[in-house]
Amino acid sequence: MSDRQGASLQYVDIAKSYGRVQALRSTTLDIAPGEFFAIIGPSGSGKTTLLGVTAGYIPPSGGRILINGADVVGMPPFRREIGMVFQNYALFPHMSVAENVGFPLRMRKLPKSDIEARVRKILAMVQLDAMAERRPSQLSGGQQQRVALARAAVYDPLLLLMDEPLSALDKNLREAMQDEIKQFQASFGATVLYVTHDQNEAAAMAHRIAIMNHGRIEQIGTPKDLYEHPTNRFVASFLGEANLFDVANIEARGGEVRIQTSDGLSLIAASSATDGKVCACVRPEAIELTSTAVDAANGFAAQVVDATYTAGSLRYRIRLDSGRIITQRMPSARGAELIAPGEAVHISWRAEDTLLVQDVEGPS
């Protein structure tokens, strides 16, 4: 770990509208020093706008941005001392790797010998010392990505912004780079704001995640929090898989909540409902699949529709008697046989695994 402390980052009622289109609705958010914070959401959700407002090339319509307590709104990008990695790296094509990485230091008018030493050091850190004299176009995608990272970090910014930095890489390289960036951040000690549309990437890397939709933050939490306790339908369906049930009637009796779904199923949940219109969410992993009926709060007779095997887990699609299709997932135990399509099974889950979430899609 580094002894350097990243910057704190606070947004206070920050907003951006283009004419009548609200790209970013009034948002308040606190990011702790040294935190790896990810923002995920579909395209057009406002995450890129939030990043641009933070870097300083999009002027906000209102609100404040505090970096280490100082308001930076109105400050030009080149005074903010923020490092940023762009989606397509934006490496200057007319400069060599070393010149690209040295660029921020030259702009700061550091002595030549200093620049050389720091460029050499950080290129060694990202294992590109041998490539210093090459042009960006002569590097692979992963190498270009590392140059962009080195260039954004060479002047020791306390805050690093990353805009979908891995989206141009293929899957295997992407996963390797995830680990590399995480390790880099830990040894470098900066606060990271990481924007992606890939929920798995965010979950793998971030301490906390904010999910954005329609220009505002729907929910903030740790990856585990968001997955296990989504507050609304959008979050529940955006993050991982969810079996969602529209609720027709809901009734709290004693310690449990009885739910009548609109397609005629009776479910039992543990916690009482949130206010307003709700729907029920059951995660595929929470569902038990057995050959005979077991004693559980929620249990249904069902039939296997199909089974898929993907790296380490089994995913079944199951049809209830009502015709409703449910997704179930479990780790594949060694030697376990796949259940054939058409076979009769029972599914069940605990009352606490019926999650009640707000049934809103957010204003559009």
The whole-angstrom separation of Cα 149 and Cα 162 is 9
Q: Which is nearer to another protein, 57 or 309 (CB)?
A: 57
**Reduced to 3 states, what is the DSSP secondary structure of residue 184?**
helix
The verdict on 77 binding another protein (CB under 8 A) reads yes
Tokens representing 98 are 């070393």
Q: Which is nearer to another protein, 11 or 238 (CB)?
A: 11
CB of 272 to another protein, least distance (A): 48
Backbone angles phi, psi at 221, to 5 degrees: 180, 180
The verdict on 108 binding another protein (CB under 8 A) reads yes
According to CB under 8 A, which one of 16, 25, 146, 151 is a site residue for another protein? Answer: 151
Helices and strands of the chain, counted as H and E runs: 8, 20
Q: What is the chain's percent helix, strand, coil content, to nearest 5?
A: 25, 35, 35
Among candidate residues 49, 290, 63, the one with its CA nearest the CA of residue 193 = 49
According to CB under 8 A, which one of 35, 81, 201, 353 is a site residue for another protein? Answer: 81
Tokens representing 113 are 């010998």
Q: Which is nearer to another protein, 165 or 230 (CB)?
A: 165
Among candidate residues 234, 122, 235, the one with its CA nearest the CA of residue 188 = 122
CB of 162 to another protein, least distance (A): 12
Strands 313-320 and 21-31: unpaired
Half-sphere exposure of 330 (CA within 13 A, CB side): 17
Span interacting with another protein, options 32-40, 92-100, 247-255, 286-294, rule CB under 8 A: 92-100
CB atoms within 10 A of CB 146: 25
Tokens representing 105 are 């230091």
CB of 176 to another protein, least distance (A): 24
CB of 153 to another protein, least distance (A): 11
The verdict on 92 binding another protein (CB under 8 A) reads yes
Q: Which is nearer to another protein, 106 or 277 (CB)?
A: 106
The verdict on 152 binding another protein (CB under 8 A) reads yes
CB atoms within 10 A of CB 240: 17
The verdict on 133 binding another protein (CB under 8 A) reads no
Span interacting with another protein, options 148-156, 165-173, 269-277, 307-315, rule CB under 8 A: 148-156
The verdict on 112 binding another protein (CB under 8 A) reads no
Question: Which H or E run contains 50?
Answer: helix 47-55
- Per the CB < 8 A criterion, the answer to whether 151 and 82 are in contact is no
Q: What track of x and - describes contact with another protein for positions 153 through 192 (by CB under 8 A)?
A: --x-----x-------------------------------
Among candidate residues 282, 32, 264, 246, the one with its CA nearest the CA of residue 159 = 32
- Per the CB < 8 A criterion, the answer to whether 215 and 53 are in contact is no
The verdict on 80 binding another protein (CB under 8 A) reads yes
Span interacting with another protein, options 149-157, 230-238, 299-307, 327-335, rule CB under 8 A: 149-157
CB atoms within 10 A of CB 339: 17
Position 226, amino acid: L
Span interacting with another protein, options 103-111, 165-173, 211-219, 275-283, rule CB under 8 A: 103-111
- Tell me the site size for another protein, rule CB under 8 A: 27
According to CB under 8 A, which one of 9, 24, 55, 355 is a site residue for another protein? Answer: 55
Site for another protein in 227-256 (CB under 8 A): none
CB of 170 to another protein, least distance (A): 22
The residues binding another protein (CB under 8 A) are 55-57, 76-78, 80-84, 86-88, 90, 92-94, 103-104, 106-108, 151-152, 155, 161
